[in-house]
Amino acid sequence: MRERGKIKLVRCLIIAAGRGGRLSSRGDSKPLIPLLGLSLIERVILTAKKQSLTDFYMVTGYNSEKVKQYLDRFSQSRNINITHITNEEWEKGNGISVLKANKLLNENFILLMGDHVFDDLILKKLKNERIADGEVMLAVDYNIKTNKLVDVNDVTKVLVEDNRILDIGKNIKKYNAYDTGIFLCSPAIFSAIEESLHNDDSSLSGGIRVLASKGKAKVFDIKDDYWIDVDDEKTFKKAESKLLDTLKKTSDGPISRYLNRPVSTRITRHFLRTDITPNYVSFLSFILATLGAIFFFLGGYVNLVIGAILAQVSSVIDGCDGEIARLKFQITEFGGWFDAVLDRYADAFLLFGLTYYVYSANRNFLALFIGFLAIIGAFMNSYTADKYDGLMKRKLRPGKHYFRIGRDVRMFIIFLGALINQPLLTLVLIALLMNAENIRRVVVLYKNG
């Protein structure tokens, strides 16, 4: 496929032929072992699909028929084009698995390992790199002293000089980078592996060494992007922890960051074992907030506390829908919009309920005015968030948090205010904080054009 006179990279070869004996306690087919709601192989495919790779060539070996049937169902549900390739010699080196695709791939392609979890940004950058005919490019990790996700005794090491590979292998003595298992390949990789086979080396690294000897093996630095070879229980748990850690958002407010998110990720882990969708979780959060508002309308301290607890639980659950969507690659424009609409309704119900609670206690019209300011402040806080968040993400270093007062803060204020039986003070604080934050955002946006 051509785009503006150049080849558009759409093909991806994934090798998943091994047995994975060190993870056999989690399943008899390593590619199908579930990791936070998706099998390992699904996670690899969907990560690549996120970066616009569309044609997948899957090499399977051990338990091949079972894996193929699973992938056929997956490809239909996700509308993904998968071509199956069987490696009957799966017990040999992984270079054999790559070689099985020789007749199907006659132009540049991405090569991935079926048991590696990685940041899709690596692919986004690697796809923009250029290699000459007869070359390959390996994404390497130079963080050999700081990367705690790597099993040093099992990882493939790489010796790099002037962006070219000099040596590669698990047992080389001198190295300065790790092999991430993510490649941009020309078809030359196939002849290189065949040449390596003549030297009784059936590994993919053997083929890379052949190309390296000819100065044809280039490297790409992944910098601080993450990758994990999920090969045993230890690395499996590291992969879980890392994926959960990626759920933190730069736009998280202080309550979300330090209280809600640590709790919501634990709840999400349970949701991931079910078929519940992000939209259902959004609706569940809305129902909990609505029930909280109803308790406010009922009056009395006990109902006030119950309502506030429901509001805070709703705030925590509200983080789960996005977490599920990101972990299971179910992010949609509708889902984000649907969640935002339900949040606005929930906010209105809760603040109106709290305002009614205060007003019904003493019939003070000042409470209605303060409640009105709180509701307006909350709505404008949500309205100004889009432009403000966009500006902060452009200005700041990727992944860096920035100051933000939003929904997480006002829901927690409702929770604390109810516990100490100060509903009027709660409304005053929300009205002041939200409107002050809105003014601050307007000033920041104005100063930045």
Q: In whole numbers, what is the pLDDT of the chain averaged over residues?
A: 94
Of 241, 268, 292, which closes a domain?
Answer: 241
Q: Looking up tokens 């390949």, which residue turns up?
A: 185
* Total of domains in the chain: 2
Residue 361: what pLDDT?
A: 87
- Show Cβ contacts of residue 94 under 8 Å, excluding neighbours closer than 6 positions: 15, 17, 18, 202, 203, 204
Do 337 and 435 lie in a common domain? Answer: yes
* d(C-alpha 46, C-alpha 80), whole Å: 9
pTM: 0.90
CB atoms under 10 Å from CB of 22, counted, come to 16
pLDDT in tens, 409-440: 999 999 999 999 999 999 999 999 999 999 99
* d(C-alpha 188, C-alpha 211), whole Å: 8
Do 185 and 303 lie in a common domain? Answer: no
40-58 mean pLDDT: 97
Of 241, 259, 274, which closes a domain?
Answer: 241
Of 225, 241, 257, which closes a domain?
Answer: 241
Residue 339: what pLDDT?
A: 96
pLDDT in tens, 323-382: 999 999 999 999 999 999 999 999 999 999 999 999 998 888 899 999 999 999 999 999
Do 38 and 148 lie in a common domain? Answer: yes
121-148 mean pLDDT: 95
Do 299 and 405 lie in a common domain? Answer: yes
* d(C-alpha 3, C-alpha 407), whole Å: 44
pLDDT > 70 fraction of the chain, expressed in percent and rounded: 98
Instruction: Give the CATH number of the domain where residue 305 resides.
Output: 1.20.120.1760
Do 163 and 138 lie in a common domain? Answer: yes
Do 231 and 333 lie in a common domain? Answer: no
* d(C-alpha 98, C-alpha 111), whole Å: 8
Given a contact cutoff of 8 angstroms between Cβ atoms, the answer to whether 115 and 33 are in contact is no
Tokens of 426: 């709660």
How are beta strands 136-141 and 177-185 bridged, if at all? antiparallel
Confidence band of 7 (pLDDT split at 50, 70, 90): low
* SS3 (DSSP) at 358: helix
pLDDT in tens, 162-215: 999 999 999 999 999 999 999 999 999 999 999 999 999 999 999 999 999 999
Do 231 and 326 lie in a common domain? Answer: no
Given a contact cutoff of 8 angstroms between Cβ atoms, the answer to whether 20 and 33 are in contact is yes
Instruction: Give the CATH number of the domain where residue 200 resides.
Output: 3.90.550.10
Do 224 and 251 lie in a common domain? Answer: no
Residue type, 104: L
Q: Which residue has the higher pLDDT, 396 or 137?
A: 137
DSSP string, 22-67: GGGGG-SSGGG-EETTEEHHHHHHHHHHHTT--EEEEEE-TTHHHH
Do 166 and 217 lie in a common domain? Answer: yes
Do 284 and 177 lie in a common domain? Answer: no
Do 207 and 320 lie in a common domain? Answer: no
Query: Which domain does 134 fall in, by range?
Result: 2-241
Radius of gyration of the chain from Cα atoms? 27
Catalogue the E-assigned strands of 79-226: 81-86, 109-113, 116-118, 136-141, 157-161, 164-169, 177-185, 217-221
Do 16 and 116 lie in a common domain? Answer: yes
221 backbone φψ class: left, alpha, beta (φ>0; ψ -120 to 50): beta
